[in-house]
Structure formats: C-alpha cells, structure tokens
Amino acid sequence: MIAIIQRVSESAVRIDGELKGEIGLGLMVLLGIEEADDQEDIDWLSKKIVNLRIFGDENGVMNKSLKDIGGELLLISQFTLHASTKKGNRPSYIKAAKPDIAIPLYEGFIQTVEQELGQPIQTGEFGADMKVSLVNDGPVTISIDSKNKK
C-alpha cells in the first residue's frame, strides 16, 4: 500500500457535484492498493498514519499526531499511485489491485484506521470520479509505502 499523506486545515471530496466527505484540521490521505497487499499492510500503515507526529506542539515543533490533536481524516482511494512510468509516456497500472481485491482491502483499511483513531473517518467512493479539494497546511506532504517498512 502506498499512502500520500497531506496535513490539511480543510479538505473535501465531491462526486457528481455532491459533497461526499469533508474535514477540518487533520489529514487527507490518498491510498493506493496493490495485488500483494494484505492485513499486515493495513495494520502497519493505519497505525503509522494515525501516530505520525506531523502537527505542531506548543513550541511549533512537529511533535503531535493526528490522534494527539483529535484531528480528522479524509481517505481517498487512488490506484494511480501504483503507476509505472518506466516505458513510454502512458503510465501502466499493472501493479494496482483489481477491484475484487482492492475493495475489501480498502474497506478493511477504513475499519482499521477508525479503530486506531477512535473515531469515524470521512471517505471518497472507491472507483468514482472524484473532485478532491484541500488546503495543505505547511505544506506538509509525506509518502509512505508499506512495502518499505523494514
């Protein structure tokens, strides 16, 4: 699993012009799922995201996590994170999991991160054409690949 994590002051996702999810201070996470992902990836990545210390403390030092500040999380599925651009100019998405594998993993990730965070999260809709807006706070953007945890 690949996650692009952005610290935001606000973020929203719309589908067909309708608001699907919206948060204030917190994290907007783009999540890419590949065929080889499993529950171990879900557990490790959800714990890492919720406890990542990228929010300022009373001295302005990035020393607090999403959990520490009681922030919100907006999760968006994005298969294009697994794009391969080695050959030619048209990206290949061969590593991205097909929906029959990706949807259960995506839903499992939602449940696991909600348990880890201790509150519900906002989401987009798997496979939908979504319009995502955000105000990146900092800017702070971090990429994490669960296959590079060791």
Q: Is the pLDDT of residue 126 over 90?
A: yes
- The CATH T-level fold of domain 2-148 is D-tyrosyl-trna(Tyr) Deacylase; Chain: A; (3.50.80)
Could you say which of 80, 85, 112, 123 is catalytic?
80
Contact 1, 42 (CB under 8 A): yes
d(Cα 125, Cα 20) in Å, to the nearest integer?
8
Return the pLDDT at 115: 98
**What are the tens digits of pLDDT across the range 99-120?**
999 999 999 999 999 999 999 9
Is 80 designated active site?
yes
The pLDDT confidence band at residue 94, using thresholds 50, 70 and 90, is confident
| Comparison of pLDDT for 148 and 45, the residue scoring more | 45
Return the pLDDT at 110: 98
- Residue 46: closest CA among 73, 22, 68, 83: 73
DSSP of 38-54: -HHHHHHHHHHHHH---
Q: Is the pLDDT of residue 78 over 80?
A: yes
